[in-house]
Structure 1
C-alpha cells in the first residue's frame, strides 16, 4: 500500500521537475482540490437536506402534539357535558337529541385520539358489557378456514377447535345474526397452528355489520330519524341497542368515512367549473345563555354540468366567514358559479374566475317586473 508523500519528499520531487512537469503537477493538485470541494459541497447539501427533514419532522411532531392536546381538551369537555352535573338541562326530546350529538362527538374524538397515540402508550379501554342477541333471529354461519390445510412439513392439518363471534346484521326489514367460526388447525407432527383471519371491519371488535351501520347512518341523515327513535324501533324488534351505542357507531363511521370525503374533495377540485352555495342550519349545542340550539352553515360544492364527475361535497362551519370557502377551495383556480355573497370576493382576487348565478340575476329582474305591473 502506497503511503502519502511527506512534505520533504514533495519538496525534493518538485526541485527535480521541469516546467512541463510542474504545470502537470499543479493541474493535478487543482483537480484534487476541485474534487474535494465538490465532495464537501455534496456533503453540505446532504446535511442541509437532513436538517430540513428533521425540521419538518419536528414541526409535524409539534403539530400532532398540539392536535392531541386539543382533542383531549375537547374530549374532557364533551365528557363533562355528557356525564357531569349540569346546572342547565335540556328537557324531554330536546335533551335526548343533545345527548345523541354528544355521544357521536365523543366516539369520533376518541377514535381520532386512538389512531394518533402509539400502541404502547394506549390505555386499556374498558369495553361495555354487551347484551345477548335474541335467540329467535335468523342465523347465518360463516366459516373462515385456512385456504391451505397442508403443513410445510408435509402433514395435513387437523381441526382443533373454532373461535366464534357474532355480529348483528340488517337487511331492509330484517335483522339477522352472522355467526363467524374461525377454525383452528394444527399439524400433529410439528404442532404448527393455522387460522384464517377475520375479515376487516369498520369498528374494531364491534357487533354491527357494515350493512347495519349503513342502515343507521341512512336512517339518521337520510330519513332524519333521531337515535332515540331508532332505539325504540330496534327495541320493538327485541334488540337492546342503547342510544349511546348508536351514537358511538355514528361517530366512528364518520372518522372511517373521512378519507372518502377527502378523496372526493380532491376529485372535485380537479374540475374546471364548480357551483357553490351556503345555507344556515340549526345545530344542537351546549346550553348557553338560555339558547337550546345554535346556528351553523353548510357549504355545498358541486361540479359543473359538463364536468367529468357528478358529485356533491358538503363542508360544515359554525360561521359564514369567507375563509371557510377559501379554506375548502385552497389553491383551486377554476370558474366558480355563485351568488354575490361577499365571502367569495377575496377568492376572485386570488385567481378564481367569478361566474354570476343566472338564477340570482333573474330574481332582480323578476322582482322589478312584478312590482312594475
Structure 2
C-alpha cells in the first residue's frame, strides 16, 4: 500500500487538475462569447459604413445580424452546462426567421431578375450646392437607384446615380445628396413607363390583362394588380389636372357619355 502522505498528495493533484480543467472550459466559453461579440461589432461597423458611404445594393441584410443575435441569446451560461429546456422554443423562432429570410430573398431576386439584362441608361444627379460651387466639394460616393424605364417598343433600366459630396474644408460634416423624386416610394416605374401604361389603358382602351400580356412578351412580367395600383397612384398624383378637366367637361351642363371613353 502507498503511504498516507502520497495518497494525500495524489488526491490534491487530482483536485488541482480538475480545478484547472474547469477553468480552461470556462475560459474557452468566455473566448467564444468574445468572438461572437466581436463579430456583432464588426457587422455593425460594416453596416454603418455601407449606410453612409456604400451603394444601396450593398446595404447589409438585417437577417445577417439576426443570426448572430440568436447565437448570443442561445449561448452557454458561464456557471454551468446548457439546460435542455432552454432551447425547446428555439426551433419555432428559427423556422420563422428562416421563412422571413427566404421571402425577402425571393422578393429581391424577383426584382433583380426583372432588371437583369435590360439596357442601362445612367442619369447623374448632383446637388444644387455642388453645381453652384463644384470646386468646394469632393465626391465621396453615390446613392444608386435602379428604375424600370420604357421607350415605346422596348424596356430598359434607368440607373440614377446621386453622388454624395462633402466640403473640402468641412469633411467632418454629413455628406449631401440630391433628392430623389419618385411618385411613390419603392415604385420602380419611371414616369415614361407610367404614361405609356395609362395611354394603353385609357386611350387605346386595352384592359390590364392585355397590357400584362404585352409586357410579358417583351420580357418583363408585370401583373395586372401592379398595373392597376400604379394607375391609382398616377390618378392621385394628377389630382389637380383631373379636377380641371372635370370643371371643363361639366361647365356647359350638357355631357355625353359612352361606355369606353367616359364623359365628353
Scaled by the length of structure 1, what TM-score is found? Answer: 0.37
Structure with bigger helix share is: 2
Using a 3 Å threshold, how does the CA distance of structure 1 residues 187 and 221 change in structure 2: closer, same or farther? same
Structure with bigger strand share is: 1
Rg larger for: 1
Render the CA deviation track for 1:84-132: whole Å, top value 9, x for unaligned: xxxxxxxxxxxxxxxxxxxxxxxxxxxxxxxxxxxxxxxxxx9x75522
What CA distance in whole angstroms lies between the structure 1 residues aligned with 2:204 and 2:138?
Answer: 50
Matched, 1:276 2:254: yes
Structure 2 stretches lacking a partner, 5+ long: 1-103
1:246 to 218, 227, 233: 227
| CA-CA distance at 1:209 after TM superposition | 0.8
Alpha-carbon contact 2:249-2:255 (below 8 Å) kept? no
Alpha-carbon contact 2:115-2:157 (below 8 Å) kept? no
Counterpart position of 1:177: 157
Structure 1 stretches lacking a partner, 5+ long: 1-125, 283-296, 301-311, 313-373
1:259 to 221, 240, 262: 240
| CA-CA distance at 1:214 after TM superposition | 0.9
Counterpart position of 2:178: 196
Counterpart position of 1:208: 189
Using a 3 Å threshold, how does the CA distance of structure 1 residues 149 and 210 change in structure 2: closer, same or farther? closer
Counterpart position of 1:159: 139
Which aligned pairs between 1:289-304 and structure 2 lie closer than 5 A?
A: 298=262, 300=263
Counterpart position of 2:166: 186
What CA distance in whole angstroms lies between the structure 2 residues aligned with 1:150 and 1:226?
Answer: 45
| CA-CA distance at 1:280 after TM superposition | 6.1
| CA-CA distance at 1:231 after TM superposition | 1.5
Matched, 1:138 2:116: no
What CA distance in whole angstroms lies between the structure 1 residues aligned with 2:131 and 2:193?
Answer: 37
Using a 3 Å threshold, how does the CA distance of structure 1 residues 261 and 156 change in structure 2: closer, same or farther? same
Using a 3 Å threshold, how does the CA distance of structure 1 residues 216 and 264 change in structure 2: closer, same or farther? same
| CA-CA distance at 1:194 after TM superposition | 1.8
Using a 3 Å threshold, how does the CA distance of structure 1 residues 244 and 158 change in structure 2: closer, same or farther? same
Matched, 1:235 2:213: no
| CA-CA distance at 1:212 after TM superposition | 0.6
SS at match of 1:249: helix
SS at match of 2:194: helix
What CA distance in whole angstroms lies between the structure 2 residues aligned with 1:194 and 1:279?
Answer: 52
Which aligned pairs between 1:33-112 and structure 2 lie closer than 5 A?
A: none
Alpha-carbon contact 2:148-2:158 (below 8 Å) kept? yes
Alpha-carbon contact 1:151-1:187 (below 8 Å) kept? no
